[in-house]
Amino acid sequence: MTTWYLAWGKIDTVTEPHWQDEQIAIFLPQSSASISPLAFSPSGRFLAIGEVWLSERQSLAQQCNNSTSTSISDLQLIVTAWEHWGVATLNHLVGMFGLVVWDREQKELWLGRDRTGARTLYYTVNGATHWIAPNLRSLAPYHNKELDLVALRDYLCCAFVPGERTLWQQVRELRPGTVLQFPGKRLQAYWQLQEQITATEGLLPSYSHQLRGMLEQVVQEYLPAADEPVGVFLSGGLDSSCITALAAKLHPGPVHTYSIHFGSQCPNELEFSSLVAQHCQSQHHILEISFRQMWEKLSETMAWLDDPIGDPLTVPNLLLGQLARESVQVVLNGEGGDPCFGGPKNQPMLLHQLYGTVTEQDSLQAYLLAFKKCATDLPQLLKPEIWRAVKQEPSVFSQDLESTASWLNRLMALNIKFKGADHILTKVNNLTQAAGLQGRSPLFDQRVVEYSMQIPPQYKLSGTEEKAVLKQAVTDLLPREIIYRPKSGMMVPVQLGFSQYWRRKAKALLLNRKAAIAAYLNQSLIRNWLNYRGDPWQRYGVKLWLLVSLEIWLRGKK
């Protein structure tokens, strides 16, 4: 899938752009899209290009006195608003966007990204010409292939690359809620996620009531036209189930739900997803994914991602999207419930808060260990010279860990800002687009995210009670078995996969002397993992999948 990209700065050697002006050259996709990624303001002063979906079009049109909003694209609406407010337009946008605006009079270029990071923007940082695109694939010819070693370190800890770094030294990612201006490379935040608990005396029912109204509004806006079907990725957990129930309540058209499992030898959640589908009267589709498919589809999946993501759910996400595309064009998901409303992944860090002084472990160590990836293995996994180069480099997580927000909201902000933007949302965006779908995440809507930071922590996670505010908000929509079932998460059986199906292939891939990772990682330690030695916690599968994903991603970028 080709997308737009552009060059800014010295462009005298740039050839055959689709459109150019002083200092800027724009290249458009070869395929003719129904919605152009390029738009001019009414006066012709501003040009905008980007991937945009606005959920509050009418409100924006009214604010800038535009009476033709129903007949123009979201991008055209934004560039029209830019004539009224300039860069302050970003403060008025609600939706998903990675946007570039060129001011033809002032010769200024603005890059802006939505608040939660549902869309992406990347740019090169070296040389007289800066290349900008919504994905890394388009920038491949315009930077060298030197790895950013700090980004590599962070990937091994998290299974994704957090923050503005990418795996390439010469490419950066614009952060959510920020705007970058050329010339001058002035980078500033137009929005910041902050704890804003003001009504501390408020009771749980009042917060739940307000949340319910907000969820209904957001899901309503995220639905397609009334006569079109909508899909929902349904695991059977609380988050995806409540989105399914709201879609079924609010959408007059057909609702399709999609669930996966990995065969009879593996545990699954079909009992719960089928219960929800039956309760909501959706047209339910169940996809069985084989271990062979998991391995064979990994190369295709990694090719669609920008930075690598070592989450075993990447392949199932692509396969489920391809199934969904047979019946819908818009698919919703329940991503965002854990980081916004206090899911179980925060519990290890809450235990650290209680017992950290006993273990003498600092907050950063505890946070990295909570990912359960390779943080403790780095001194042995990385080659000595690589480890020396990165071990003292500061962590992108440190500032948020040291904030003054309540401990739980501190953790949730971290998960929203980094795991949300750099893992979950970019995975949803890239892999649904790869399947020809529009993927939308209502629980990551900026209004829901902002409201989650106004809710007192005890209404989100208190002891073993998770997501109390969300449960009460949707308790009338779902069976009791769903509301009060323990959180299990979608477990991909990678441990079984490596022990019974992929071991030989993984050895050939990871232990090859010409492997892309060989210059950076200690293959003898990887050999121990492949032989199931040296890991008393039996997490070989997760670690090996992370490494296999990295190796395949690197090979595909050569």
261-287: average pLDDT? 95
Q: Checking DSSP bridges between strand 122-124 and strand 129-133, what pairing results, if any?
A: antiparallel
Lowest mean pLDDT among 359-363, 364-368, 507-511, 532-536: 359-363
Residue 59 is predicted with a pLDDT of 81
Whether 505 shows a pLDDT value over 50: the answer reads yes
Phi, psi of 99 (to 5 degrees): -130, 140
Determine the average pLDDT of the residues in 48-58: 91
Q: Give per-residue burial for 228-255: e unless 16+ CB within 10 Å, then b.
A: ebbbbbbbbbbbbbbbbbbbbebbeebb
- The span from the CA of 146 to the CA of 39, in Å, is 35
The CA distance from 6 to 100, in Å, is 9
Distance CA 479, CA 242 (A): 10
As a whole number of angstroms, the distance between CA 74 and CA 444 comes to 20
Give residue 484's pLDDT. Answer: 86
Q: In the predicted model, is pLDDT for residue 486 greater than 90? A: no
Q: Which amino acid is at 460?
A: K
pLDDT for the residue 344: 58
Average pLDDT estimate for 150-170: 97
With a CB cutoff of 8 Å and minimum separation 6, the contacts of 252 are 226, 227
Residue of higher predicted confidence among 88 and 537: 88
Q: Which amino acid is at 438?
A: Q
Would you state the structure tokens that stand for residue 92, as one six-digit string?
A: 């008025």
Q: pLDDT-based confidence at 359, cuts 50/70/90? A: very low
The CATH code of the domain at 5-189 is: 3.60.20.10
Q: Over 60: is that where the pLDDT of 174 sits?
A: yes
* Beta strand ranges found along 167-308 (DSSP E): 171-173, 178-182, 186-189, 230-233, 255-261, 283-288
pLDDT band of 350, cuts 50, 70, 90: low
- Rounded CA Rg of the chain: 23
CB proximity list for 492: less than 8 A, separation 6 or greater: 262, 294, 312, 313, 316
Residue 355: band (very low, low, confident or very high) from pLDDT cuts 50, 70, 90: very low
Nearest 5°: the CA angle 273, 277, 279 is 115
Closest of 489, 508, 502, 500 to residue 545, by C-alpha: 502
Report the C-alpha gap between 341 and 467 in whole angstroms: 5
The tally of CA atoms less than 13 A away on the side-chain side of residue 524 is: 2
pLDDT at 354: 45
| Greater pLDDT, 34 or 169 | 169
Report the phi/psi class of residue 51: left, alpha or beta, with left for phi > 0 and alpha for psi in -120 to 50: beta
d(CA 87, CA 92): 10
User: pLDDT at residue 550 above 70?
Assistant: yes
Query: Distances in Å between the alpha carbon of 426 and those of 160, 207, 422, 504?
Result: 10, 30, 6, 31
Q: Is the pLDDT of residue 209 over 90?
A: yes
How open is the CA angle 333-160-341, to the nearest 5 degrees?
45
**Contact between residue 27 and residue 45 where contact means Cβ atoms under 8 Å apart:** no
**pTM (predicted TM-score):** 0.94
Structure confidence at residue 366 (pLDDT): 86
Cα dihedral sign for 95, 191, 431, 499? negative
Average pLDDT of the residues in 308-336:
97
- pLDDT, averaged across the chain: 91
Q: What is the pLDDT of residues 227-266, one digit of tens each?
A: 999 999 999 999 999 999 999 999 999 999 999 999 988 8
Between the CA of residue 203 and those of 207, 459, 463, what are the distances in Å?
A: 7, 9, 18
Q: For the residues of 10-57, what is the DSSP string, one character each?
A: --TT----SEEETTEEEE--SS--SS-SEEE-TTSSEEEEEEEEES-H
Q: What is the mean pLDDT of residues 528-539?
A: 75
Q: Is the pLDDT of residue 348 over 70?
A: no
Q: Is the dihedral of CA 155, 159, 165, 166 positive or negative?
A: positive
Range picked from 191-195, 462-466, 508-512 for highest mean pLDDT: 508-512
Q: Are 162 and 418 in contact (CB under 8 A)?
A: yes
What average pLDDT does this structure show over 398-415? 86
Asked whether 50 and 37 are in contact (CB, 8 A), the reply is: yes
Q: Is the pLDDT of residue 521 over 70?
A: yes
403 Cβ contact partners less than 8 Å away, ≥ 6 residues apart: 410, 413
pLDDT band at 349 (very low <50, low <70, confident <90, very high): low
Pairing of strands 19-21, 171-173: unpaired
Q: Which residues contact 193 (CB under 8 A, 6 or more apart)?
A: 115, 177, 413, 416, 417, 449, 450, 453
pLDDT band of 131, cuts 50, 70, 90:
very high
Contact 313, 421 (CB under 8 A): no
Average pLDDT rounded to a whole number, residues 151-162:
97
The answer to whether residue 346 scores a pLDDT higher than 60 is: no
Stretch 453-460: mean pLDDT: 89
| Domain chopping of the chain, boundaries | 5-189, 204-342+418-483, 493-558
In tens, the pLDDT along 68-125 reads 656 788 999 999 999 999 999 999 999 999 999 999 999 999 999 999 999 999 999 9
Q: Which residue has the higher pLDDT, 58 or 247?
A: 247
Closest CA to 99 of 20, 180, 18: 180
| pLDDT of 356 above 90 | no
Which of 3.40.50.1820, 3.40.50.300, 1.10.357.10, 3.40.50.620 would CATH assign to domain 204-342+418-483?
A: 3.40.50.620
- pLDDT for the residue numbered 69: 59
CA separation, residue 119 to residues 27, 54, 108, 400, 494 (Å): 19, 12, 22, 22, 29
Label residue 536 by pLDDT band (50, 70, 90).
Answer: low
User: What is the percent of the chain with per-residue pLDDT over 70, rounded to a whole number?
Assistant: 91
